[in-house]
Amino acid sequence: MRQHVLILDFGSQFTQLIARRTRELGVYSEIKPCSVKPDSIDLREVKALVLSGGPACVSGEDAPPFDPQWLQLGLPTLGVCYGMQLMAHCLGGKVSPGTSREFGHAPLHISEPSGILNGFQAGEKISVWMSHGDFVSQLPPGFRLLATSSGEISAAMGNPEKRMYAVQFHPEVVHTPRGKEILSNFLFGVARLSRDWTGEDVIQSTIDYVGRTVGPEQNVICALSGGVDSTVAAVLINKAIGQRLHCIFVDNGLLRKNEAQQVFKRLKELGLNVKLVDASAQFLKELSGVSDPEKKRKIIGRVFIDVFDQEAHRIPNVTHLVQGTLYPDVIESVSVRGPSATIKSHHNVGGLPERMKLKLIEPFRELFKDEVRRIGRDLKMPEEILGRQPFPGPGLAVRVLGEITEERLRILREADAIFLEEIRAEGWYEKLWQSFAVILPVKSVGVMGDGRTYDQTIGLRAVHSEDGMTADWAYLPQDLLRRTSNRIINEVKGVSRVVLDISSKPPSTIEWE
Ligand code: XMP
């Protein structure tokens, strides 16, 4: 535990951005569900409170649970959107339904540049991002109006004596260009916190934690995929306990072209105690004849656990399992009121710790991928590993749409390798969040030479994203696409057509399955 800002989550899609911005400003923060009670937390570590946005109405039946005691603890507090309405509701103000929703860019008219608006000018107009229906129609006693938005809506209020502030807009999103100044005013001006959080803290506190909890005779295991998250986690734990960290790298037969050997070599070079287990035959046998995406994921998860369990049992006295779980992995499977609808079952090794009765070590549970990359840099890991694009746990299984066969995997691997080669050659690899090929469950007609062909279709997907939770399709140069398509059709036997995916997330997902 360390001193931090506690963010209570009322279900806004932006909550994690508040955490990220505070860390960018050098202050550690943690997110907890809004239902958490003050007496269940070590309050000595909580130095400020943020109430997030959320989709509900404060007085509606669907209002998420919240203990108003939180507002009586004397903590510097910032309410954001729903958080502002909740503060008004709990502290004696009034919230009313708006005549229309205010959504998107809105002008903020600053009337009193104090507290969180310190450094702004009275009368100044700035652009902010709004997303609300209800609004605070009467400020709670002791609060002053600091700014309004269109239609004289109260958009920022503050009670300097109690160090409580609230805004109706979202300072955490990039669409509020001066949002970071506002958060900074809250953290450093109002809550008087110091900038003391760096990636080094995660490194040191993880090493301390592992030193405290893993006994000198105990061993720790890690399922390494060669991806950024699990590799940085392994290097970090290796720093704490050396060769007592046993890494297992399972080749599930669903990796990209030449990937298993290349990744294994790189992991060895990092000084990790790692074993490569080739279980591809077992995975492909179990997947044979299966087309349903969720069934594929379940099978892969189950076989993985079997293989991993078997390998781990060869190691004596294993007590802990390291996982490179990131915040988006956690948030996609948890919501304010319990598990959200499963869009895809992401958790590749879900069930493993329970089955093996292991305790989990997840040093990056609160972090985003770019933060993990920064930690990797602090650990002096090579860019070649840190810059790798994400690759899903179920691998090519979710990129072979329809049935998975050796032949379709071969075609996909070849096509994907060509696409990546062209992407790298043009310097696009690092600019993209992900770029990959999929093979569709559609055959189409082509002409080659004098003959008619009826062959497979390859789809190309390249996206920009900050954290994988939203994504935009990338506008790749036409030449690059033309060369890729020509090469795939000419060089990969069995392909008669190449198509380009131009969908963003949402509503589409990044992977096709
Ligand atoms: P989607 O397809 O849901 O993916 O937009 C978001 C990010 O997660 C990766 N992904 C997965 N990662 N196991 C994983 O470890 C999975 O089952 C899985 N499915 C998707 C995807 O590549 C993207 O970066």
Q: What are the tens digits of pLDDT across the range 37-83? A: 999 999 999 999 999 999 899 998 889 999 999 999 999 999 999 99
124, 110 contact by CB (below 8 A): yes
SS3 341: coil
Question: Average pLDDT of the chain?
Answer: 92
Q: Is the pLDDT of residue 427 over 70?
A: yes
Distance 346 CA to ligand 1 centre (A): 6
Amino acid identity for residue 496 in this structure: S
Distance 59 CA to ligand 1 centre (A): 37
Res 334: pLDDT? 46
Cβ(144) to ligand 1 under 6 A?
A: no
Res 332: pLDDT? 55
Instruction: Convert the pLDDT of each residue in 227-251 to its tens digit.
Output: 999 999 999 999 999 999 999 999 9
> What one-character-per-residue DSSP string does 280-301 give?
HHHHHHHHTT---HHHHHHHHH
Range 311-339 average pLDDT: 76
In 378-504 the beta strands, taken as DSSP E runs, fall at 434-448, 451-464, 472-473, 495-500
Range 391-403 average pLDDT: 96
Kindly state whether residues 278 and 363 are assigned to the same domain.
yes
Cβ(509) to ligand 1 under 6 A?
A: yes
158, part of any domain: yes
Kindly state whether residues 170 and 203 are assigned to the same domain.
no
Cβ(390) to ligand 1 under 6 A?
A: yes
Cβ(329) to ligand 1 under 6 A?
A: no
Say which residue, 100 or 260, is predicted with more confidence.
260
Q: Is the pLDDT of residue 435 over 50?
A: yes
Kindly state whether residues 203 and 307 are assigned to the same domain.
yes
User: In what helix (H) or strand (E) does residue 367 lie, and over which residues does it extend?
Assistant: none
Task: Please give the Cα distance from 346 to 354 (Å, whole number).
Answer: 17
Tell which atom from ligand 1 comes closest to the C-alpha of 348.
13
Res 349: pLDDT? 62
Range 74-96 average pLDDT: 97
Res 450: pLDDT? 83
Q: Indicate which residue's Cα is closest to atom 3 of ligand 1.
A: 509
Instruction: Convert the pLDDT of each residue in 447-500 to its tens digit.
Output: 988 889 999 999 999 999 987 877 899 999 999 999 999 999 999 999 999 999
- The catalytic position among 170, 246, 511, 513 is 170
Q: Is 255 left (phi over 0), alpha (psi -120 to 50) or beta?
A: beta
Say which residue, 121 or 451, is predicted with more confidence.
121
Q: Which of 255, 299, 346 to mutate to test the pocket of ligand 1 (most atoms within 8 A of CB)?
A: 346
Domain assignment of residue 414, given as a range:
405-500
362, part of any domain: yes
Kindly state whether residues 143 and 114 are assigned to the same domain.
yes
400, part of any domain: no
Q: Is the pLDDT of residue 408 over 70?
A: yes
Kindly state whether residues 183 and 208 are assigned to the same domain.
no
**CB neighbour class for 269 (10 Å; exposed up to 12, middle 13-18, buried from 19):** exposed
Kindly state whether residues 301 and 363 are assigned to the same domain.
yes
Kindly state whether residues 365 and 238 are assigned to the same domain.
yes
Question: Would you call 81 a catalytic residue per the annotation?
Answer: yes
pLDDT tier at 339, thresholds 50, 70, 90? very low
Distance 393 CA to ligand 1 centre (A): 8
- The catalytic position among 34, 81, 90, 222 is 81
pLDDT tier at 175, thresholds 50, 70, 90? confident
Cβ(140) to ligand 1 under 6 A?
A: no
Task: Please give the Cα distance from 284 to 278 (Å, whole number).
Answer: 12
Tell which atom from ligand 1 comes closest to the C-alpha of 433.
24
Range 109-134 average pLDDT: 95
Cβ(348) to ligand 1 under 6 A?
A: yes
312, 318 contact by CB (below 8 A): yes
Task: Please give the Cα distance from 410 to 423 (Å, whole number).
Answer: 20
150, part of any domain: yes
Kindly state whether residues 63 and 164 are assigned to the same domain.
yes
Distance 473 CA to ligand 1 centre (A): 15
Q: Is the pLDDT of residue 390 over 50?
A: yes
- Domain final residue, candidates 142, 168, 190: 190
Res 467: pLDDT? 77
Kindly state whether residues 155 and 208 are assigned to the same domain.
no
Look up the pTM and report it.
0.79
396, part of any domain: no
Cβ(393) to ligand 1 under 6 A?
A: yes
Cβ(513) to ligand 1 under 6 A?
A: no
Cβ(324) to ligand 1 under 6 A?
A: no
Cβ(511) to ligand 1 under 6 A?
A: yes
Distance 254 CA to ligand 1 centre (A): 15
Cβ(225) to ligand 1 under 6 A?
A: no
Beta bridge partners of 154: 148
What percent of the chain stands above pLDDT 90?
80
The CATH code of the domain that includes 99 is 3.40.50.880
Kindly state whether residues 422 and 358 are assigned to the same domain.
no
> What one-character-per-residue DSSP string does 31-82 give?
EEETT--GGGS-GGGEEEEEE---SS-TTSTTPPP--GGGGGS---EEEETH
394, part of any domain: no
145, 111 contact by CB (below 8 A): yes
Distance 390 CA to ligand 1 centre (A): 8
Tell which atom from ligand 1 comes closest to the C-alpha of 225.
15
- Domain final residue, candidates 190, 213, 247: 190
Range 9-18 average pLDDT: 89
Q: Indicate which residue's Cα is closest to atom 16 of ligand 1.
A: 346
Kindly state whether residues 246 and 364 are assigned to the same domain.
yes
Tell which atom from ligand 1 comes closest to the C-alpha of 511.
2
Kindly state whether residues 256 and 372 are assigned to the same domain.
yes
Res 144: pLDDT? 97
506, part of any domain: no
Question: Structurally, how many domains does the chain consist of?
Answer: 3
- The catalytic position among 172, 371, 422, 511 is 172
Distance 58 CA to ligand 1 centre (A): 34
- Domain final residue, candidates 173, 190, 207: 190
Range 86-98 average pLDDT: 96
User: In what helix (H) or strand (E) does residue 383 lie, and over which residues does it extend?
Assistant: helix 383-386
Instruction: Convert the pLDDT of each residue in 146-164 to its tens digit.
Output: 999 987 899 999 999 999 9
pLDDT tier at 1, thresholds 50, 70, 90? low
pLDDT tier at 331, thresholds 50, 70, 90? low
513, part of any domain: no
* CA dihedral over 277, 360, 228, 412, signed as positive or negative: positive
Q: Indicate which residue's Cα is closest to atom 7 of ligand 1.
A: 468
52 Cβ neighbours under 8 A, 6+ residues apart:
7, 8, 9, 10, 11, 12, 14, 15, 18, 31, 34, 80, 81, 82, 83
Q: Is the pLDDT of residue 106 over 70?
A: yes
Cβ(453) to ligand 1 under 6 A?
A: no
